[in-house]
């Protein structure tokens, strides 16, 4: 890396310094000069088919890498990633959206430049709604400071930010800035200390403590500390749909996923009868709470979030999950008496019966035995995700989904971000036919960059999550020959799966075929669904 | 149609009353009950693969039909149509965006319901930026009035509007409302009359009047009046890239497209030397003005827009294009003396030479002779559009493009909207490989609804508009076998075109194969481009 001289260089160096190595996007004339600068520098440009794919890929990259970037042109590119940016906001994924824009010198008298909507700041105003910080780099005096402010906000809040880069600013010399040396304020640890003291007393006085481990443990990089905490205290742990695999599902204190009345009954019983329930960075969302069938007693709960800690009905402001967890680790939590806590049932694989029609149940059982230590499962919205709740994930963070925002079409482009962020992982993508038809052709991008996801299309001819709630032709999806997609993109292998033995054969071939994409068109009945989805849609249907 | 009883019924009846017969969209649980109501009523639901496709289809439908509707679920659906809605705003297309949403009864205490981003009104705030009116139908007392207000705004301003429909409101009985009888104000025609008087004097005093016909003539349904005006006055007419075909290109007074210095030289010379230039509903955009190479003298111009009329350097507020044009028609404009005005050169078709490599020039020449009276050309952004500028369109409004907002990926989904709005038309879609990879799989939707576009993919391996400005690998697009797409979607016919005679044969077969989609993979060299694009990108490149 050379010394930054221009605004464009400074932005690239800042991203590089935070471990970004790939930028996902589609070029356009307002951002061409910045793409050119990217290509001649240390960050790899990853061209997706559509900006939507780039947005989802950057989100997944951020979840694995700690920061992700999507780079697009003004409005026609930027507004195509409004949805993926909203998802990153909702599920706390630090994505930097960089949008090219008309030069400041082109904006005088507000001419009707192409791609403009209403005013020159229309796109900025939209992104203000779905990011934690935003800026237009229209001033060389402040550009470096603004880049720092905005990217630091992404890192702090684990949420997306927006940087608009007028094209004439890319190569303008940036004015360095000097922060006045900060005089460290004497830190007020009184709030934290009182919270820790009270929490420690409550936990130690309890007879049946339990933990629900949330997704913020992952987002804030606290999984090692968390495992240490569990191993010191022996408190049993459940996760949630969104935080599945935040702790290894083989860990002896792991109970399973808590989803209120619609999840595993043993886990529900244990959690809801706990006299001291500790929620660590848990999102209290409808899906996580089993469509509000959860019965969690706030009067017996300690709830730590990235911003504050709630103990019973009072709040300790400005105590972070990180400080709280580390404080507990250094404190004096008693080791929990060995209590009978549930363990997840690890699904048993059964031998394929030649010619036997494949079902969702068999598919997921078989996949569970197929996945290896380097598999990362990426589940799209719908039964692709709900059915996967019962799979056993071997290591931490090997399961990605959007179990809160639940945007269809995430999984295929997400596999780009995941495998580029960690090339030791091979993605296993689980995706319904409806979601595949939204973004599945991004497999072309996987092939272009020599990536090798195995994609399982759950082909049931429609929106399987909606059918049980309220059905009609609007839930139908046109039948595609998904196994022929390699013929279009001239890469990879496709398989048609109707029976158990065909699945076994295809997965064996896929596991040997490691250099390219594999796509399995798994044909299941329209009314076949997992028990997990059945329970969830029953709860959902009440609201439709 | 039955008498409206519920909010959902009222909305459907209002749309029906304004000639809407199709609603494009993708369902989701927050909008399921409204989809159910749609399906059991008089509007046909058209399910697209992705919401983006629905948004573009609704825009195209609106351009043909006068009003279009896209219906989606909350945030994960709505935010996917932010870009297509922005396009409808920029290019004046009256699209109604209907988004399902959490019920008002579910919003109490602001729980983390799935699909929510920041607050429950985040999506509304975003759409306020890109629509002319918006509402949440959360009150049965005001819902009908709000529906009327918002849809009337779309019709008046020819721009998109946003209606959010909380799911518990769909079947709530709507309270009818009674407008107090309006006492018609005596109309103040003084402003209009003075504008007409001055304009008439100026036109009659001129020796070389000329007209640039803009897209608002189409949007406000004024094409018949406009043709009448030309036939009475004999004033020569040019159009713009965005308004191409707003007047028949065979009309004897039609000169061609005006694009400043980068368009036809004879048209430029005539327009810029006119002593009375009349701009009728013209968008003064960069592309329309040949990247600001236009030299139009405001001191010699009369510029009528949908909102006001400018004569030289002064303005008549609140005089609409419609009133102004009709006033001129009823006035006393002298018949223009027959002057020598240019005529467009209608490209001559040349016989295919067997085995001769196909070029952009040959392709467009051949297509020009191929298109029939029922062909509607839909050109995507890039050379697909620029090259089409020199084609001859037989009738009014038989050419659709997004020559201002210029969002890639419009053309294929637009063909859905066009053909459903007018089943007598057969779309000829011109689309680059880059744009096709964004939304081209919506051909599956065309097949699902028995539509029959002929799709020409200009396969040159990349973003051909950007290469001449600044090139790099980021302008590459992965090669696909576009001709094999019928194998995936199990419908239609595909053709591979490398030579002139293959094009002839494929188009002849396509013209006979009228019941299904046809897709032609036309393989052209990476550096082959139209003269029109060459001139445009030279002007563009100065700004990159």
Do B280 and B325 contact (CB within 8 A), yes or no? Answer: yes
More confident residue, A284 or B444: B444
Residues of B in contact with A36 (CB under 8 A): 470, 472, 474
Looking at residue B342, its pLDDT comes to 92
Measuring CA to CA, which residue among B26, B144, B2, B161 is closest to residue B97?
B161
H or E stretch at B464: none
Residue in A closest to B433 by C-alpha? A49
Residue A278 CA to residue A311 CA, distance in Å, equals 9
* Alpha carbons A282 and A103: distance in angstroms, whole number: 43
Q: Which CATH number is A314's domain given?
A: 3.40.50.1220
Numbers of helices and strands, H then E, in chain B: 19, 19
Residue A457 has pLDDT above 70, yes or no: yes
At B185, the pLDDT band (50, 70, 90 cuts) reads: low
**Please, what is the Cα angle at B93 between B235 and A107, to 5 degrees?**
80
Query: β-strands B95-101, B161-166: how paired?
Result: parallel
Tell me: the pLDDT tens digits for B113-159? 999 999 999 999 999 999 999 999 999 999 999 999 999 999 999 99
- Are the beta carbons of B240 and B215 closer than 8 angstroms? yes
Q: What are phi and psi of A134, to 5 degrees?
A: -150, 155
Angle at B540 between CA B535 and CA B543, to 5 degrees: 150
Judge whether B27 is closer than 8 Å to chain A, CB to CB: yes
Residues of A in contact with B126 (CB under 8 A): 82, 126, 129-130
CB A242 within 8 A of CB A283: yes
| Token pair belonging to B220 | 């406000």
Instruction: Give the per-residue pLDDT at B289.
Output: 85
Query: Which residues constitute the domain of residue B291?
Result: 190-330
Residue B444 and residue A480: Cβ atoms within 8 Å?
Answer: yes
Please tell me the distance in Å from A392's CA to the nearest CA on chain B: 25
CA distance B84 to B356: 39
Q: What is the pLDDT of residue B308?
A: 94
Looking at the complex, does the CB of residue B448 fall below 8 Å from at least one CB of chain A? yes
Q: Say if B382 falls within a structural domain.
A: yes
Residue B104 has what pLDDT? 94
For residues B83-97, give the mean pLDDT. Answer: 97
Minimum distance, in Å, between the CA of residue B473 and any CA atom of chain A: 8
Question: Could you tell me if A447 lies within 8 Å of chain B, comparing CB atoms?
Answer: yes
Could you report the predicted ipTM of this complex, rounded to two decimals? 0.95
* Nearest CA-CA partner of A285 in A129, A90, A88: A90
Residue A449 touches chain B, beta carbons under 8 Å: no
Q: Tell me the pLDDT band of A404, cut-offs 50, 70 and 90.
A: very high
For residues A499-525, average pLDDT: 97
pLDDT tens column, B463-516: 999 999 999 999 999 999 999 999 999 999 999 999 999 999 999 999 999 999
Question: What is the average pLDDT value for chain A, to the nearest integer?
Answer: 93
| B348 is a domain residue | no
| Mean pLDDT for the stretch of residues A393-399 | 76
**Which phi and psi angles does A456 have, rounded to 5°?**
-105, 110
Sign of CA dihedral A441, A442, A444, A447: negative
Looking at the structure, tell me whether residues A13 and A157 fall in a common domain. Answer: yes
Chain A residues lying within 8 Å of B401, measured CB to CB: none
List CB contacts (< 8 A) between B540 and chain A.
Answer: 29
Q: Is residue A1 part of a domain?
A: no
- State the burial class of residue A318 (Cβ atoms within 10 Å of its Cβ: 0-12, 13-18, 19+): exposed
Element of type H or E holding A111: none
**From B36, which residue of chain A is nearest by alpha-carbon distance?**
A472
Q: Residues A154, A208: one domain? A: no
**Do B98 and B205 fall into the same domain?**
no
What is the spatial distance between Cα B143 and Cα A128, in angstroms, rounded to a whole number? 29
Window 403-442 of B, Cβ < 8 Å to A: 404-409, 437-439, 441
Residue B447 token pair: 């097949």
Can you give the pLDDT at residue A3? 58
B222 and B317 share a domain? Answer: yes
Q: Which of B75, B104, B285 to mutate against chain A (most A CBs within 10 Å)?
A: B75
Q: Please give the Cα distance from B485 to B519 (Å, whole number).
A: 8
In chain A, what residues touch B106 (CB-CB under 8 Å)? 543
Q: Nearest chain B Cα to A476, which residue?
A: B47
Chain A CB contacts of B406 below 8 Å: 76, 114-115
DSSP string, A451-462: ---EEEEEESSB
Residue A383 pLDDT > 90, yes or no?
A: yes
In the stretch 289-308 of chain B, residues with CB closer than 8 A to chain A read 292
Quick check: is B338 in a domain?
no
- Same domain (yes/no): B11, B159: yes
State whether B444 and A478 contact (CB < 8 Å): yes
CA gap B476, A408 in Å, rounded = 27
CB contact under 8 A, B47 and A447: no
Domain match, B152 and B66 both: yes
Q: Does A466 lie at the interface with B, CB-CB under 8 angstroms?
A: yes
Judged by a CB distance cut-off of 8 A, whether residue A195 touches chain B is no
Which residue from B minimizes the CA distance to A470? B32
Q: Which residues of B touch A447 (CB under 8 A)?
A: 478
Structure tokens, B110: 């602001």
CA A288 to chain centre: 15
Determine the Cα–Cα distance for residues A218 and A158; give it in Å rounded to an integer: 11
Chain A residues within an 8 Å CB radius of B118 = 89, 129-130
Give the integer Cα–Cα distance in Å for A9 and A16.
10
Q: Which tens digits make up the pLDDT trace of B233-277? A: 999 999 999 999 999 999 999 999 999 888 889 999 999 999 999
Distance, CA of A80 to CA of A99 (rounded, Å): 11
Question: What's the CA gap between A37 and A377, in Å, rounded?
Answer: 34
DSSP category for residue A6: B
8 Å CB contact of A76 and B408: yes
SS3 A520: strand
Residues B26 and B158 in one domain: yes
Confidence at residue A1, expressed as pLDDT on a 0 to 100 scale: 43
- Rounded to whole angstroms, how far apart are CA atoms B154 and B167? 23
A60 and A23 within one domain: yes
Q: Does B487 contact A482 at a Cβ distance shorter than 8 Å?
A: no
Question: From the CB of residue B499, how many other CB atoms can be counted at a distance below 10 Å?
Answer: 17
Q: Does A543 contact B at CB distance below 8 Å?
A: yes
CA distance A300 to A302: 7
pLDDT at B205 over 50: yes
Structure tokens at B154: 């779309």
Q: With beta carbons under 8 A apart, name residues in chain B contacting A470.
A: 32-33, 35-36
**Torsion angle of alpha carbons A393, A394, A395, A396, nearest 10°?**
20
Quick check: B1 pLDDT over 60? no
Residues A388 and A450 in one domain: yes
Q: Do A82 and B86 touch (CB under 8 A)?
A: no
Residues 208-267 in A contacting B (C-alpha not used; CB under 8 Å) = none
Instruction: Quote the pLDDT of residue A216.
Output: 96
Q: How many whole angstroms separate alpha carbon A9 and alpha carbon B475?
A: 21
How far is the alpha carbon of A127 from chain B, nearest alpha carbon, in Å? 8
Segment holding B522, helix H or strand E: strand B518-523
Calculate how close chain B gets to A394, using CA atoms only, in Å: 27
Closest partner residue to B286 among A114, A125, A408, by Cβ?
A114
Identify each DSSP E strand in B331-407 by its residue range.
375-379, 399-400
Contacts 24+ apart (CB under 8 A), A338-342: A338/A234, A339/A208, A339/A236, A341/A210, A341/A236, A341/A253, A341/A255, A341/A270, A342/A236, A342/A255, A342/A256, A342/A264, A342/A266, A342/A267, A342/A270
Q: Tell me which residues of chain B, numbers 468 to 497, contact chain A at a CB-CB cutoff of 8 Å.
A: 469-470, 472-482, 484-485, 487-490
A372: pLDDT strictly greater than 90 = no
Interface check for A44 against chain B (CB to CB < 8 A): the answer is no
Q: Given this model, what pLDDT does residue B536 score?
A: 84
Q: What's the mean pLDDT in A108-137?
A: 93
Residues of A in contact with B87 (CB under 8 A): 76
pLDDT at B2: 47
**N-term to C-term CA, chain A:** 55
Whether residue A284 sits in one domain with residue A415? no
By Cβ distance, the residue of B122, B129, B447 closest to A118 is B129
Alpha-helix runs per DSSP H in B289-377: 321-330, 360-370
Q: Mutating which of A115, A215, A462, A516 best tests the B interface, going by the most B Cβ atoms within 10 A? A: A115
Contacts 24+ apart (CB under 8 A), A230-233: A232/A329, A232/A333, A232/A335, A233/A203, A233/A209, A233/A333, A233/A334, A233/A335, A233/A336
Report yes or no on B302 lying in a domain: yes
Q: Which of A32, A441, A447 sits opposite B466 (nearest CB)?
A: A32
Question: Taking CB atoms and an 8 Å limit, are A130 and B118 in contact across chains?
Answer: yes
Average pLDDT of the segment spanning B315-320: 94
Domain-ending residue, one of B134, B169, B204:
B169
Would you state the pLDDT for residue B340?
85
B85 pLDDT above the threshold of 50: yes
Based on the fold, state whether residues B11 and B133 are members of the same structural domain. Answer: yes
DSSP at B456: E
Residue A175 lies in a domain: no
Once rounded to an integer, what is the mean pLDDT over residues B287-314? 91
Query: How many Å apart are CA A247 and CA A397, to the nearest integer?
Result: 8
Q: Which residues of B316-337 are buried (b: 16+ CB within 10 A; e: fewer)?
A: beebbbbbbbbbbeeeebeebe
What residues of B are in contact with residue A113 (Cβ under 8 Å)? 285-286
Shared domain for B208 and B125, answered yes or no, is no
Domain containing residue B483: CATH number: 3.40.50.970
Residue in this structure with the two tokens 């017996």, named with its chain if needed: A300
Q: Where are the alpha helices (DSSP H) in A82-221?
A: 82-90, 122-128, 143-157, 190-205, 216-219
Contacts of B83 (CB under 8 A, 6+ apart): A75, A76, A79, A80, A82, B52, B55, B407
pTM of the complete model: 0.96
For chain A, say whether B125 makes contact (Cβ under 8 Å): yes
Q: Is residue A131 part of a domain?
A: yes
User: With contacts defined as CB-CB under 8 Å, which chain A residues touch B51?
Assistant: 438
Pick among A114, A259, A383 to test the B interface (most B CBs inside 10 A)? A114
Domain contains A46: yes
| Inter-chain residue contact B29 with A283, CB threshold 8 Å | no
Q: Which residue of B has its CA nearest to A131?
A: B118
A542 interface with B at CB cutoff 8 Å: no
C-alpha A105/C-alpha A166 separation (Å) is 9
What is residue A110's predicted lDDT score, i.e. its pLDDT? 79
B346: confidence class by pLDDT, cuts 50, 70, 90: confident
Bridge partners of residue A218, in order along the sequence: none
Spatial neighbors of A327 by CB under 8 A, at least 6 apart, are A192, A193, A195, A196
What pLDDT does A327 receive? 96
* C-alpha to C-alpha distance for A385 and A378, rounded to whole angstroms: 8
Rounded to the nearest 5°, which phi and psi values hold at B429? -95, 125
Q: Which of A76, A444, A480 sits opposite B407 (nearest CB)?
A: A76
Q: Which residue has the higher pLDDT, A395 or A298?
A: A298
Mutation choice for A interface testing from B8, B165, B465, B478 by most A CBs within 10 A: B478
- Closest Cα to residue A103, out of A27, A170, A163? A170
Pairing state between β B426-432 and A308-311: unpaired
Q: How many separate helices (H) and strands (E) can be counted in chain A?
A: 19, 19
Take residue A121 and report the two structure tokens written for it: 């700041």
Q: How many domains does chain A have?
A: 3
Measured between CA atoms, how close is B182 to chain A, in angstroms?
Answer: 33
């Amino acid at each position: 890396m050379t010394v930054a001289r221009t605004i464009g260089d400074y932005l690239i160096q800042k991203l590089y310094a935070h471990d970004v190595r790939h930028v996902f996007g589609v070029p356009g004339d307002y951002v061409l000069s910045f793409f050119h600068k990217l290509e001649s520098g240390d960050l790899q440009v990853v061209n997706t088919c559509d900006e939507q794919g780039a947005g989802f890929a950057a989100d997944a990259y951020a979840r694995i890498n700690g920061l992700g970037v999507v780079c697009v042109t003004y409005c026609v590119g930027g507004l195509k990633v409004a949805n993926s940016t909203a998802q990153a906001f909702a599920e706390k994924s630090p994505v930097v959206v960089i949008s090219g824009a008309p030069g400041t010198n082109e904006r005088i008298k507000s001419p009707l430049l192409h791609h403009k909507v209403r005013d020159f700041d229309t796109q900025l105003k939209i992104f203000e709604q779905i990011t934690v910080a935003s800026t237009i780099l229209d001033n060389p005096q402040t550009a470096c400071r603004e880049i720092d402010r905005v990217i630091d906000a992404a890192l702090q809040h684990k949420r997306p930010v927006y940087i608009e880069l007028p094209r004439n600013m890319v190569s303008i010399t940036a004015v360095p800035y000097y922060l006045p040396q900060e005089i460290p304020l004497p830190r007020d640890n009184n709030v934290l200390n009182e919270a820790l003291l009270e929490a420690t007393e409550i936990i130690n006085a309890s007879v049946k403590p339990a933990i629900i481990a949330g997704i913020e443990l992952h987002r804030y990089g606290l999984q090692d500390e968390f495992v240490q905490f569990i191993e010191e205290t022996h408190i049993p742990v459940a996760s949630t749909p969104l935080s599945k695999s935040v702790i290894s599902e083989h860990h002896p204190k792991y109970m399973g996923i808590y989803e209120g009345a619609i999840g595993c009954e043993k886990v529900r019983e244990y959690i809801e009868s706990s006299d001291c329930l500790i929620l660590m960075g848990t999102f209290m969302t409808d899906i996580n709470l089993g469509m509000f069938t959860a019965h969690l007693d706030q009067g017996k709960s300690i709830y730590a979030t990235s911003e504050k800690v709630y103990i019973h009905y009072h709040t300790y402001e400005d105590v972070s999950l990180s400080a709280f967890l580390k404080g507990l680790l250094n404190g004096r939590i008693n080791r929990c008496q060995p209590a009978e806590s549930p363990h997840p049932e690890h699904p048993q694989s059964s031998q394929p019966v030649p010619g036997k029609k494949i079902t969702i149940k068999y598919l997921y059982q078989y996949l569970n035995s197929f996945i290896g230590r380097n598999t990362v499962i990426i589940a799209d919205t719908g039964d692709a995700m709900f059915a996967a709740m019962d799979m056993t994930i071997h290591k931490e963070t090997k399961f990605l989904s959007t179990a809160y925002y639940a945007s269809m079409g995430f999984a295929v482009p997400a596999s780009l971000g995941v495998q580029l962020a960690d090339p030791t992982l091979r993605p296993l993508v689980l995706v319904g036919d409806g979601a595949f038809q939204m973004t599945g052709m991004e497999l072309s991008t996987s092939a272009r960059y020599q990536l090798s996801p195995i994609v399982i299309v759950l082909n049931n001819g429609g929106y399987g999550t909606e059918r049980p709630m309220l059905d009609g032709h609007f839930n139908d999806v046109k039948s595609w020959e998904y196994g022929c997609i390699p013929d279009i993109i001239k890469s990879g292998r496709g398989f048609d799966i109707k029976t158990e033995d065909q699945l076994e054969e295809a997965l064996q071939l896929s596991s040997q075929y490691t250099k390219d994409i594999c796509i399995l068109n798994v044909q299941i009945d329209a009314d076949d669904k997992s028990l997990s989805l059945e329970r969830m849609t029953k709860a959902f249907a009440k609201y439709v």
